[in-house]
Amino acid sequence: MKRLLPVAAAATTAALLLTGCGSGGEQSGDGKETKKVTVGISQFVEHPSLDAAREGFVEALKDGGYTEGENLTLDVQNASGDQATATNIASNFASSGDDLILGIATPSAQSLAQAVTDKPVLFTAVTDPVDAGLVDSAEAPGGNVTGTTDMNPVADQIKLVKQLEPGAKSVGIIYSSGETNSQIQVDEAKKAAEAEGLKVVEKTVTTTAEVAQAAESFDTDAIYVPTDNKVVAGLEAVISAAEAKKIPLIAGEGDSVERGALATQGLSYKDLGKQTGEMAVKILKDGAKPGEMAVESQKETKLIVNAKAAKAMGVEIPQSLRDKADQVIE
């Protein structure tokens, strides 16, 4: 029997080598072990832009070796635009066994940052994470929270008003009075509008249900919608108002242009979400610490114009703008 022990040991060793790691993990393309993980996602409201950010995040996890149903479990929760619900979701995640949690949009991210202190928290679709109280600074977040900002080139977007409607003298801006991220963009829009010689008319809403009435009440030469969650959720009502008034509707990001706004110089939320997912992989696989990971922003924006929307709004897109566009939706 003693003579058989070395053979048995060798067989056992070979079996272990064939099965890879004994901890239930898998080998990713870079040769690093990807252990089974659970990731929680708190999304403030459902609309195409935030949905795209979530999809990009999950795509990046898969690219990094984490596949749902294999070594990744996702727990996706939606607050339906209600702050109290976002707070409850955050509280539940705080007591969960999740390895990492993502907050999509400022209200959800703020709730998570306040409730979850002992596990990594990432955010995306947040305009100013410092002003929102999520990080100490963009360069050195500190604590357990970091992520990506969706601060967009507001001044370039406001310039589109005059490029599409040279005789415009006023622009209406519709946004939610309760969203910090929106107020920051509106302040930037006011400065840009003044530089363009445009008068700003503001309309605020507290719920998506109020968007239609606010949009219909504008008596301006153009409408601008920042990356506001409640307004973007009800964007179709703003599009209808712009079409009825025959005025251009400028948006804060590309998904809104695909839905029917006229133009933007904006970012891609799917790409932003994917960038956030790449940060998550560094944390889950490499042990990176959120507090030491600088807040990231999308490096390139795209000029997108919608020719079909232009026709519906009675606006002619200058050829020079078409030529510069990264994408023309026909």
For residues 276 and 286, what is the distance between their CA atoms, to the nearest angstrom? 15
Q: What's the pLDDT score for residue 300? A: 85
Q: What's the pLDDT score for residue 281? A: 98
Helix (H, G, I), strand (E, B) or coil at 315: coil
The residue with tokens 């048995």 is: 8
Q: What's the pLDDT score for residue 178? A: 85
Q: What's the pLDDT score for residue 43? A: 98
Per-residue model confidence as pLDDT tens for the chain (330 residues): 333 333 334 333 333 333 333 334 555 555 556 789 999 999 999 999 999 999 999 999 999 999 999 999 999 999 999 999 999 999 999 999 999 999 999 999 999 999 999 999 999 999 999 999 999 999 999 999 999 999 999 999 999 999 999 999 999 999 998 888 899 999 999 999 999 999 999 999 999 999 999 999 999 999 999 999 999 999 999 999 999 999 999 999 999 999 999 999 998 999 999 999 999 999 999 999 999 999 999 878 999 999 999 999 999 999 999 999 999 999
Q: What's the pLDDT score for residue 21? A: 36
Encode 53-109 in three state secondary structure: HHHHHHHHHHHCCCCECCCEEEEEEECCCCHHHHHHHHHHHHCCCCCEEEEECHHHH
Amino acid at 115: A
DSSP 190-257: HHHHHHTT-EEEEEEESSGGGHHHHHHT--SS-EEE-S-HHHHHTHHHHHHHHHHHT--EEESBHHHH
The pTM of the whole model exceeds 0.85: no
Q: What's the pLDDT score for residue 15? A: 38
Q: What's the pLDDT score for residue 285? A: 96
Q: Are 222 and 139 in contact (CB under 8 A)?
A: no
Distance of CA 77 to the CA centre of its chain: 15
For residues 96 and 56, what is the distance between their CA atoms, to the nearest angstrom? 24
